A and B are shown apart, each in its own frame.
Chain A
Amino acid sequence: MNDFLEQRKKRLEVFKKTVRKKEVTYKPINIPEGLFLKCDQCGAALYEKNLQIGQYICPFCDYHFRMSALNRMHLTVDEGSFEPLFDGIQSLNPLGMHGYEEKLNIGKALSKINEAFLCGTAQIVGSKIAIGILDSTFMMGSMGSAVGEKVTRLIEYSTTEKLPLIIFSASGGARMQEGIFSLMQMAKTSAALLKHDQEKLLYISVLTNPTTGGVAASFASLGDIMIAEKSSLIGFAGARVIKQTIMQDLPDGFQTDTFQLSHGQVDLIVHRRDMRKMLHQLLKLHEGKQVAS
C-alpha cells in the first residue's frame, strides 16, 4: 500500500502538467525583520515578545539573554517603587577621543537611559533599598567618570541613609575612551564601599552576563554577598587576551558562573526567575529584629 499512492500521484502529476498552463513555484514568506532573536547559546530562533514575558530566558537552553537596565529594574523591584537618583550625570570627552560622542548617543538610544548606570531607591517586597544596574546595551556597560561618579554617589547615599545596597553588574570593564580617569574610578568606587562596610550595612553584588575587567576588579567583587546570575560569563581578563598570553586553549566552562562558584569566588548561583525571591529572602534575613532572649 505504501508506495501505491506515490505511483498514483506521479502518474496524475504528469497529466496535470498537460492541463495546467504554467508551473507554480513558491518562494519563502518574507517575514518582517527583528521578529525573532537568535539565542547565542543554542542558535534557536526566539520570538521577541515571548522572550519579554519569559524574562529574556531561552526556553530551549535556559540561556539568559542580556537585559537593559530598565527591563532589569522592572523585573526586580516592586511595581512603581523605583525613584531615580543622580540622573543628570552624563559623560564628557576628557581625552577628546574621536567618535566617543557618537558612541554615547548610540548607547542612549539603545538603552533609553542617558548613561550605562541606572540607580536610585526602590523596594523589594516592601523593603527599601538603594539599587544600581549597569546596562550592557550602553557601550558594553563600560565604566567611565560618569558611571564611576554615579556608582560612588549611590554608595555614599546608601551609607548616609543607612540603606542596604544592591548593584547588578553587566560590563566589559573600564571605558577606554576616558583612559586613566576610567581606571581611577575603580579605586573611587571601592573606597566608597569601605565606608559603607564600616557602617555595617549590607551590600549584595549580583554579577550578570558579562561581568569582567575594571568593574569586576572593583565594586562588583566587594559584595558581602556575591550572587552570580545563572549562565553568566564572569572573570577579570578577556578570554582572547588569556589565550594569547598562555598560547593554550581554555578549558570548558572557563569563566562561567559554575567556574566562579567552584573556585570560591561567589556565594550563590541564582536563576533569573528566582532572583527577586532570593533578594527578598536575603534582605529579610538582614532586617534582623534581635531574637527575644
Chain B
Amino acid sequence: MSKSAWEIVKLARHPKRMTSRGVIDALISDFVELKGDRLYRDDQAIIGGIGKFNATPVTIIAQEKGITTEEKIYHNFGMPHPEGYHKALRLMRQAEKFNRPILSIIDTPGAYPGIGAEERGQARAIAYNLQQMMDLTVPIIIVVLGEGGSGGALGVGVGDYVCMFENAIYSILSPEGFASIIYRDSTKAEQAANMMKITAQDLLEFGIIEEIIVEGEGLHLEPNVGLNNLKKALTRQFNRLLKMNKTTLLKQRYQKFRDIGVYEERGDEEDEQTED
C-alpha cells in the first residue's frame, strides 16, 4: 500500500510522531546536553550534546519541535535562529577535536523567519555551516526524522551518509508555500505535495539520500520498529565510516554533493550555433 505524498506529509507532521528527543532517549546513553553559542544565547530549536551510541562517544545535533504546546513554544517549533547554527558548529568542531563521530537529526519546518534572525545573519549562519561541515574530519551521519524544511534543514544536513525515515519529507519549501506561488492558492498543498517529489522514496531514487528507515505502522503508533531499524543502520554506517581514513572520508563527502544536479552540457560545436 503505497501512501500518497500528501499522506506522508501528514504523517511527517503528525502530532504524535516521535521527535528527536525520543530518538536520543532511545538510542543514546549517558546523554549530556551542552548549550549556548558563546556569542549571543542558547537556541533550543536545536538540541546539542554528547552521549554514547553502542558505547562509542558521539556528538548529537538534533532539531527539536516539541510535542506539547509548552514544548513547541520552548523549542520555537523546531525553527532555529542563527545562534542555533552557531551552537551546532561549535559542538561539531568540538567533536572533531575529540575525534567523535557526529549524528545530526533533522526535523524542522525551516529556519526561523524573524527580525532577530535577519539581524543576526541567518543566511550567513547557514552558509558557513554548509562550508565548514565539509571540512570536519570525523564521520557525520544525517537522519531526516520528520520535516526536512529547506535551508533550515540543510544547515545541519551536510554529511557522509543520509538516511531518511519512511514517513519523513525533505523539500525546498513547504507544499503550502509551493502551492501559494504556483497556484496562487495555498489550499492546493495536496496537489503541490504530490508533484514536488519530496518523499524518502523520491530522494532515494534521486540519489540524495542513501537509505530509507522503515517505520512499520509509523513512528506515532509503534516507534520501536523505526527506532530499531535506525539503530541497525547507524551501527552499520558508523562502523564503516570509522574505519575509513580521513582523506577518503572528506573526498567522498565532497563528491557526494559535487555530483548532485540534473543539467545538460551542450558540446562546443553546438555552442557555435547558439552563439549566432
Task: Note whether A and B contact each other (Cβ less than 8 A).
Answer: yes
Mark A residues whose CB is within 8 Å of B.
87-92, 94-95, 97, 114, 144-146, 148-149, 152, 174, 176, 178-188, 190-195, 197, 213-214, 216-222, 235-238, 241-242, 245-246, 248, 250-251, 254-255, 259, 263-265
Enumerate chain B residues within 8 angstroms of A193, measured Cβ to Cβ: 131
B250-276 vs A: 1/0 string, CB under 8 Å? 000010011011111111101100110
Determine whether B249 belongs to the interface, using a CB cutoff of 8 Å to chain A: no
Enumerate chain A residues within 8 angstroms of B197, measured Cβ to Cβ: 95, 179-180
Query: Are B261 and A185 neighbours in the complex by a CB distance under 8 Å?
Result: yes
Give Cα A8 to B125, complex, Å: 76
Query: Are B118 and A254 neighbours in the complex by a CB distance under 8 Å?
Result: yes
Determine whether B98 belongs to the interface, using a CB cutoff of 8 Å to chain A: no
Enumerate chain B residues within 8 angstroms of A259, measured Cβ to Cβ: 118-119
Query: Are B258 and A191 neighbours in the complex by a CB distance under 8 Å?
Result: yes
Query: Are A180 and B208 neighbours in the complex by a CB distance under 8 Å?
Result: yes
Query: Are B268 and A88 neighbours in the complex by a CB distance under 8 Å?
Result: yes
CB contact under 8 A between A89 and B118, given known A182-B172, A194-B134, A245-B113: no
Query: Are A181 and B118 neighbours in the complex by a CB distance under 8 Å?
Result: no
Query: Are B196 and A95 neighbours in the complex by a CB distance under 8 Å?
Result: yes
Q: Which of B99-146 contact A (CB under 8 A)?
A: 111-115, 117-124, 126-128, 130-132, 134-135
Q: Tell me the minimal C-beta distance from A29 to chain B in angstroms.
A: 38
Query: Are B131 and A237 neighbours in the complex by a CB distance under 8 Å?
Result: no
Query: Are B263 and A146 neighbours in the complex by a CB distance under 8 Å?
Result: yes
Enumerate chain A residues within 8 angstroms of B195, measured Cβ to Cβ: 95, 97
By Cβ-Cβ distance, the 3 closest A-B pairs, closest first, are A237-B113, A145-B261, A190-B130
Query: Are A236 and B172 neighbours in the complex by a CB distance under 8 Å?
Result: no
Enumerate chain B residues within 8 angstroms of A197, measured Cβ to Cβ: 131
Give Cα A111 to B120, complex, Å: 34
Enumerate chain A residues within 8 angstroms of B173, measured Cβ to Cβ: 176
Chain B residue, CB-CB nearest to A262: B119
Contact of A191 among B130, B151, B271 (CB under 8 A): B130
B74-115 vs A: 1/0 string, CB under 8 Å? 000000000000000000000000000000000000011111
CB contact under 8 A between A236 and B123, given known A187-B154, A191-B257: yes
**Extra contacts besides A191-B134, A220-B127 (10): CB < 8 Å:** A92-B262, A97-B195, A180-B171, A184-B257, A191-B158, A217-B155, A218-B127, A237-B118, A246-B114, A254-B118
CB contact under 8 A between A217 and B196, given known A186-B151, A236-B111, A254-B115: no
Give Cα A248 to B116, complex, Å: 13
Determine whether B1 belongs to the interface, using a CB cutoff of 8 Å to chain A: no
A-B contact pairs, 25 of them (CB 8 A): A88-B271, A89-B265, A90-B263, A94-B262, A148-B261, A179-B197, A179-B198, A180-B197, A180-B198, A180-B203, A183-B154, A183-B171, A186-B151, A187-B130, A191-B130, A191-B257, A191-B258, A194-B132, A194-B134, A214-B172, A222-B131, A235-B118, A236-B111, A236-B113, A237-B117
Chain B interface size, as a band, is: 35 or more
Mark B residues whose CB is within 8 Å of A.
111-115, 117-124, 126-128, 130-132, 134-135, 150-151, 154-155, 157-158, 170-173, 178, 181-182, 195-198, 202-203, 206, 208, 254, 257-258, 260-268, 270-271, 274-275
CB contact under 8 A between A179 and B171, given known A184-B257, A193-B131: yes
Give Cα A181 to B268, complex, Å: 26
Query: Are B123 and A216 neighbours in the complex by a CB distance under 8 Å?
Result: yes
Contact of A242 among B118, B178, B275 (CB under 8 A): B118
CB contact under 8 A between A188 and B196, given known A217-B127, A221-B123: no
Chain A residue, CB-CB nearest to B196: A179
Give Cα A149 to B262, complex, Å: 9
Contact of A180 among B172, B182, B266, B267 (CB under 8 A): B172
Give Cα A172 to B114, complex, Å: 18
Enumerate chain B residues within 8 angstroms of A263, measured Cβ to Cβ: 118-121
Give Cα A217 to B268, complex, Å: 33
Contact of B117 among A148, A187, A236 (CB under 8 A): A236
Q: Tell me the minimal C-beta distance from A209 to chain B in angstroms.
A: 15
Give Cα A114 to B274, complex, Å: 9
Chain B residue, CB-CB nearest to A189: B130
Q: Tell me the minimal C-beta distance from A187 to chain B in angstroms.
A: 5
Enumerate chain B residues within 8 angstroms of A88, measured Cβ to Cβ: 265-268, 270-271
Give Cα A165 to B69, complex, Å: 48
Enumerate chain A residues within 8 angstroms of B130, measured Cβ to Cβ: 186-187, 190-191, 217-218
Scoring A187, A188, A251 by chain B CB atoms within 10 A of each residue's CB, the highest score goes to A187
Query: Are A179 and B114 neighbours in the complex by a CB distance under 8 Å?
Result: no
Q: Tell me the minimal C-beta distance from B189 to chain A in angstroms.
A: 14
Give Cα A174 to B78, complex, Å: 22
CB contact under 8 A between A246 and B257, given known A181-B262, A187-B130: no
Query: Are B134 and A190 neighbours in the complex by a CB distance under 8 Å?
Result: yes
Q: Tell me the minimal C-beta distance from B179 to chain A in angstroms.
A: 11
Query: Are B111 and A237 neighbours in the complex by a CB distance under 8 Å?
Result: yes
Q: Tell me the minimal C-beta distance from A214 to chain B in angstroms.
A: 6
Contact of A188 among B113, B128, B135, B261 (CB under 8 A): B261
Enumerate chain A residues within 8 angstroms of B155, measured Cβ to Cβ: 217
